[in-house]
């Protein structure tokens, strides 16, 4: 894959385990916690609600594509000491308050911000000016099965990119450390990689509106047509704002340029290739998972980011705007829609 460089992982030193903390150990953070613990690192987490109670009482159980492991990380509502390395894995809308609550222990500590959407890592760097920040984009899929239980439904690479102001040697150290338990690659243009991931995350909205998995959504002819159209709209807006798509998950600038130029029917091959990569284990996606836990979603940072970008250019992204509104409707009503209802809402004939 061009523009990315695999890194040889160092062997963890049993004499001095690395003290890694995961801020917001939900689905993705839970997976990182269990993998890091299995690799011999000393892991602590912050969590809240039922998840915090379960972690303190029973520990954290990982299952799925990366095997089974039971970890007993130190769990608290907020950090109680400064770690060697921190990873922030809360949803975008919780990032600012989670960082504010832990800022005192993050001074000078390398912080990986693993978050979908645009600008999360950059916002963290602006909020914590004395903390070196590294951006991360996970392509593996993680499910929050129950408090204390997480599962990997699709194994895949996590892409890391430096944020302006972070020293190259700090970035290299973090890449090597995460490489001791995770499949990681560096990406030089992190903003371009965030955009490519945002195109992949077009798969999130329709499952949240229908209650279906990503794979079921893409298998449905009507939903696949809507998804293809929303992805094409997103690529068009990105290109209008001068984005260069970095290689992520088999997508890159030439692939997405050809996707936007293809006939709508030919273009459907792209979401189908994403479903194939995701494999057979149903993946609800992180947005539907928020809804199923009766939480607000990240949708304003996903399809909503396409709408915002369009507006800054004096353009519109009507399909992404409607999908954003339909996810908000599902947040408020708790009811799912059928493919035909969605087609009617977005003005497509069934
Ligand atoms: N799940 C996936 O497959 C993937 C997710 N991502 C991205 O990774 C990020 C994390 O997603 P995901 O793991 O699914 O989200 P989750 O909601 O499962 O995990 C986030 C956790 O952080 C907790 N939390 C929020 N604020 C705080 C706080 N201040 N202190 C302590 N804990 C807190 C949440 O608690 P509560 O439940 O109470 O809100 C929740 O348990 C998102 O940006 C997502 O888009 C990227 C790739 C794949
Ligand atoms: C890659 C994918 C689609 C995995 O589910 C994801 O990023 C998400 O669910 O938010």
pLDDT at residue 344, rounded to an integer: 97
Domain boundary among 136, 170, 188: 188
pLDDT at residue 6, rounded to an integer: 46
Residue 4, pLDDT > 60, answer no
For atom 40 of ligand 1, which residue has the closest CA? 26
Same domain, 184 and 200: no
Please state the rounded mean pLDDT for residues 111-116. Answer: 98
Return the CATH number at 220: 1.10.1040.10
Same domain, 200 and 332: yes
The secondary structure of the chain, three-state, reads CCCCEECCCCCCCCCCCCEEEEECCCHHHHHHHHHHHHCCCEEEEECCHHHHHHHHHHCEEEEECCCCEEECCEEECCCCCCCCEEEECCCHHHHHHHHHHHHHHCCCCCEEEECCCCCHHHHHHHHCCCCCEEEEEECCEEEEEECCEEEEEECCCEEEEECCCCCHHHHHHHHHHHCCCCCEEECCCHHHHHHHHHHHHHHCHHHHHHCCCHHHHHHCHHHHHHHHHHHHHHHHHHHHCCCCCCCECCECHHHHHHHHHCCHHHHCHHHHHHHHHHCCCCCCHHHHHHHHCCCCCCHHHCHHHHHHHHHHCCCCCHHHHHHHHHHHHHHHHCCCCCHHHHHHHHCCCC
Q: What pLDDT, in 10s, does the model give residues 243-267?
A: 999 999 999 999 999 999 999 999 9
Residue 25, pLDDT > 90, answer yes
Same domain, 174 and 101: yes
pLDDT at residue 15, rounded to an integer: 67
From 158, 204, 270, the mutation candidate for ligand 2 (largest count of ligand atoms within 8 A of CB) is 204
Return the CATH number at 144: 3.40.50.720
Q: What pLDDT, in 10s, does the model give residues 52-76?
A: 999 999 999 999 999 999 999 999 9
Same domain, 174 and 211: no
Domain boundary among 170, 188, 206: 188
Same domain, 213 and 77: no
pLDDT at residue 54, rounded to an integer: 98
What range does the domain containing 12 cover?
5-188
Q: What pLDDT, in 10s, does the model give residues 297-308?
A: 999 999 999 999
Residue 2, pLDDT > 50, answer no
- The whole-model pTM stands at 0.96
Domain count, the chain: 2
Same domain, 152 and 85: yes
Same domain, 206 and 248: yes
Same domain, 208 and 114: no
Domain boundary among 188, 212, 244: 188
From 286, 291, 292, 305, the mutation candidate for ligand 2 (largest count of ligand atoms within 8 A of CB) is 286
Residue 119, pLDDT > 60, answer yes
Same domain, 278 and 169: no
């Amino acid at each position: 894959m061009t523009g990315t460089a695999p890194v040889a992982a160092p062997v963890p030193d049993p004499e001095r385990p690395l003290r890694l903390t995961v801020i917001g150990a939900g689905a993705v953070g839970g997976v990182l916690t269990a993998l890091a613990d299995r690799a011999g690192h000393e892991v602590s987490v912050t969590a809240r609600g039922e998840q915090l109670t379960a972690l303190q009482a029973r520990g954290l159980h990982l299952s799925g594509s990366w095997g089974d492991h039971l970890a007993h990380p130190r769990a608290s509502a907020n950090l109680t000491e400064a770690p060697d390395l921190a990873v922030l894995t809360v949803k975008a809308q919780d990032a600012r308050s989670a960082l504010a609550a832990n800022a005192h222990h993050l001074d000078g500590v390398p912080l990986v911000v693993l978050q979908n959407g645009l600008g999360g890592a950059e916002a963290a760097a602006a909020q914590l000016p004395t903390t070196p920040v590294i951006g991360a984009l996970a392509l593996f899929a993680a499910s929050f099965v129950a408090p204390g239980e997480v599962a990997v439904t699709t194994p895949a690479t996590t892409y890391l990119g430096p944020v302006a102001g972070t020293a190259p040697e700090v970035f290299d150290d973090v890449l090597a450390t995460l490489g001791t338990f995770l499949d990681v690659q560096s990406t030089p243009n992190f903003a371009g990689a965030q955009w490519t991931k945002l195109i992949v995350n077009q798969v999130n909205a329709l499952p949240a509106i229908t209650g279906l998995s990503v794979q079921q959504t893409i298998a449905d002819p009507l939903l696949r047509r809507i998804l293809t159209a929303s992805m094409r709209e997103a690529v068009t807006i990105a290109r209008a704002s001068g984005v260069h798509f970095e290689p992520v998950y088999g997508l890159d600038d030439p692939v997405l340029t050809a996707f936007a130029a293809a006939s709508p029917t030919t273009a459907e091959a792209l979401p189908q290739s994403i479903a194939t990569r995701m494999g057979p284990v149903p993946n609800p996606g992180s947005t539907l998972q928020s809804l199923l836990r009766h939480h607000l979603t990240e949708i304003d940072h996903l399809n909503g980011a396409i709408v915002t970008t369009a507006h800054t250019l004096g353009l519109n992204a009507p399909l992404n705007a409607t999908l954003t509104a339909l996810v908000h409707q599902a947040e408020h009503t708790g009811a799912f829609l059928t493919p035909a209802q969605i087609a009617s809402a977005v003005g497509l004939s069934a």
